[in-house]
Amino acid sequence: MQKGKKIWMDGKLVDWDDANVHILTHTLHYGMGVFEGIRCYICGDGRSAVFRLDEHIDRLYDSAHIVQIDIPFSKDEIKGAVFETLKANELREGYIRPIVYLGAGSMGLFPKENKVMVSIAAWEWGAYLGEEGIKNGIRVKVSSFTRHHVNVGMTKAKVVGNYVNSILAKREVVKAGYDEAIMLDTEGYISEGSGENIFIVKEGVLKTTPLTSILNGITRNSVIRLAQANGYEIQEERFTRDELYTADEAFFTGTAAEITPIREVDDRKIGDGKLGPVTKTIQDIFFKVVKGDGSAYKDWLAYI
């Protein structure tokens, strides 16, 4: 990981190497915390912009609301802190990670006096699933680990503890030689990747999992809106693994993964086994928009 200079912690910028927490930090023991993943890009005009910052901060507060954590800062303060962090790190393109967690205080499963802490780090982070993956597609496998049931893990919230499930799935398939995991929901339908939403393309129509039991991805939402504006039909419907096997194209979406084509699932080629034309079109539109080249979407960019 590319080390930065400063990390914002509870209102102050702290040197990267001193950004530590107490060993009895409650979230470290039980996973009750929420986070976000945000990207900023250098735009065509040389400026730098955070992509859909408002939506990411809204989701951070929604995640906190779901798990009953009161964030002790206003949304505007957090947005200001994101900019402060980027400037302090002289970072013009990269990844931003706000986290809200419960500090040290009481132990046990009924945290009362534990202070709610907020931290924001930012660093350079290239393609999460590799440059090669973005260009030519990745090989994925359906994990034996099931995505959280909607009444077990709160699937709409980016809750720290939820990601044990994702790590188990990802580790399992990476050890078996694949790049990323696909997880089925508790009824056996495709849900999403370990940290990405999924789309398939069949005869020019795009299909993606409905929001019921998945994380409401902001990249997913962006792709839906951009695809519709460019004349594609979108279906938000459940689909099965055999429908995925026989799709013409498939791709993952996520802030980290951006738009990563899937060229193979469970050792079955998807379509021609390479970046397909619809995925390529969506990728091109998406990367233009995040870099400020798409006048209809200027409100998605928060310039630094």
Ligand X SMILES: *Cc1c(COP(=O)(O)O)cnc(C)c1O
192 in contact with ligand X (CB under 6 A): yes
Can you name the residues that pair with 199 across neighbouring β-strands?
Answer: 208, 251
185 in contact with ligand X (CB under 6 A): no
Pair of tokens at residue 211: 């929001």
Give residue 254's identity as a one-letter amino acid code. Answer: G
* Angle at which helices 218-229 and 277-290 cross, to 10°: 110
137 in contact with ligand X (CB under 6 A): no
- Which DSSP string do the residues of 179-223 spell out, in sequence order? SEEEEE-TTSSEEEESS-EEEEEETTEEEE--GGGS---HHHHHH
114 in contact with ligand X (CB under 6 A): no
Give residue 8's identity as a one-letter amino acid code. Answer: W
Give min distance, CB of 192 to ligand X, in A: 5
User: In the annotation, is 158 catalytic?
Assistant: yes
Choose which of 141, 207, 220, 291 interacts with ligand X (CB under 6 A). Answer: 220
For 166, how many CA atoms within 13 A lie in the half-sphere containing its CB?
A: 18
Catalytic residue among 6, 79, 158, 207: 158
Can you name the residues that pair with 235 across neighbouring β-strands?
Answer: 207
Span from 12-20, 74-82, 116-124, 249-257 in contact with ligand X (CB under 6 A): 249-257
Q: H or E stretch including 169?
A: helix 163-175
Can you name the residues that pair with 297 across neighbouring β-strands?
Answer: none
Give residue 73's identity as a one-letter amino acid code. Answer: F
Q: Annotate each residue in 26-45 with x if it binds ligand X (CB under 6 A) or - if it does not, as one string.
A: -----------x--------
195 in contact with ligand X (CB under 6 A): yes
**How far, in Å, CA of 48 to CA of 27, rounded?**
33
Q: Quick one: 85 or 208, whose CB is closer to ligand X?
A: 208
Give min distance, CB of 218 to ligand X, in A: 3
Choose which of 137, 254, 261, 271 interacts with ligand X (CB under 6 A). Answer: 254
Q: Which of 200, 207, 214, 236 is nearest to 146 (CA)?
A: 214
158 in contact with ligand X (CB under 6 A): yes
Span from 11-19, 217-225, 285-293, 295-303 in contact with ligand X (CB under 6 A): 217-225
Give min distance, CB of 207 to ligand X, in A: 16
Q: Quick one: 196 or 264, whose CB is closer to ligand X?
A: 196
Which residues participate in catalysis according to the annotation?
158
- Residues at the site binding ligand X, with contacts judged by CB under 6 A: 37, 158, 192, 195-197, 215, 217-220, 253-255
